[in-house]
Structure 1
């Protein structure tokens, strides 16, 4: 893993607000993305990393995750990236299985947007 992205994860781990198992899960997901050919760096996946760590932490802490209605622009963007939607759903299922954290549809949509952006950056 790229040094700056590893540092982001280490800061979450050292901060004491995030369970190690969440950081480990996210690190594993980043490895899956990299193994699948994505360019996973701080620049390309930093926001995805933070978003996923914090969403999973909120779920595990029993905090409500605000439900957002997916606007037409986001829906249209996701429709053009079915692989990102499928990847987000698979990631959410792995999070549910590994951590017991069931991401709501709005979070899955946000993950899909992150994955679509990552794919675009990886193939430029």
Structure 2
């Protein structure tokens, strides 16, 4: 993880927008992705980082999470990225286990999209 991405996490945590345990969970997940050889930087994973931290925070705060993808567009996009979908479900399971924040399918789909983009080779 590069310094800019670490700063993003720190700013979310220090400003109180996310709980420390959420910031730690996301940092750990990003570290695992980096350890697999993925390029985890502000440019490649900034949106993934923000989205996951805010989704987990909303769930822990008891806020409703809207279901999306009524026309199946997300599912169609993810059809070509089964590894990203598998990884998204694994992250969701770890979030439910360690934070008590079960991500709904719509959030898992968005997470899968972020992971699919992260899985693309760098230009």
Give TM class, smaller chain: over 0.9
Name stretches of at least 5 consecutive residues in structure 2 with no aligned partner: none
Aligned positions, number = 123
Residues 1-124 of structure 1 mapped to structure 2, 5 A cutoff:
1-120=1-120, 122-124=121-123
SS of the equivalent of 1:32 reads helix
CA distance in 2, matches of 1:65, 1:87: 21
Shift of 1:17: 2.6
Q: CA deviation at 1:123?
A: 4.7
User: How far did 1:77 drift?
Assistant: 1.6
User: Where does structure 1 differ by over 6 angstroms across 4 or more consecutive aligned residues?
Assistant: none
Structure with more of its chain in helix, by fraction: 1
Alpha carbons of structure 1 residues 35 and 77: separation in structure 2 relative to 1, 3 Å = same
The TM-score normalised by the length of structure 1 is 0.94
In the superposition, the TM-score normalised over structure 2's length comes to 0.95
- Once superposed, what is the RMSD of the aligned Cα atoms? 1.2
Secondary structure of the residue aligned to 2:38 is coil
1:16 deviates by: 1.4
How many angstroms apart in 2 are the aligned matches of 1:56 and 1:13? 13
Q: Any idea what SS the aligned residue of 1:17 has?
A: coil
Task: Give 1:74 deviation, angstroms.
Answer: 2.1
